[in-house]
Amino acid sequence: MPDHLINYFNGRLDSTVITPYTATLKLFISFILGAVIEAERQFRRRDAGMRTFTLICMGSTAAMLISI
């Protein structure tokens, strides 16, 4: 990934100003990371489904966005 693109996303994610674009980006990233956690747990045959981890990750992200 080019450096200017990484710097662009870092600037957007570190911002304390919440716009619909940054909120959507942060919620999307939390969805992806929740799915990664679920895939790892499913690979190891542990309980909990994709909805559980994605909802927990997105819910905590939404709570932090509201607190900002």
Domain that holds residue 8: 3-67
pLDDT tens digits, one per residue of 8-67: 777 777 777 788 888 888 889 898 988 888 888 878 777 766 677 788 888 898 898 888
So what's the pLDDT on residue 66? 86
The 3 state secondary structure assigned to 31-57 is HHHHHHHHHHHHHCCCCCCHHHHHHHH
* Total domains, the chain: 1
So what's the pLDDT on residue 49? 66
CA nearest to 36, candidates 59, 8, 57, 5: 57
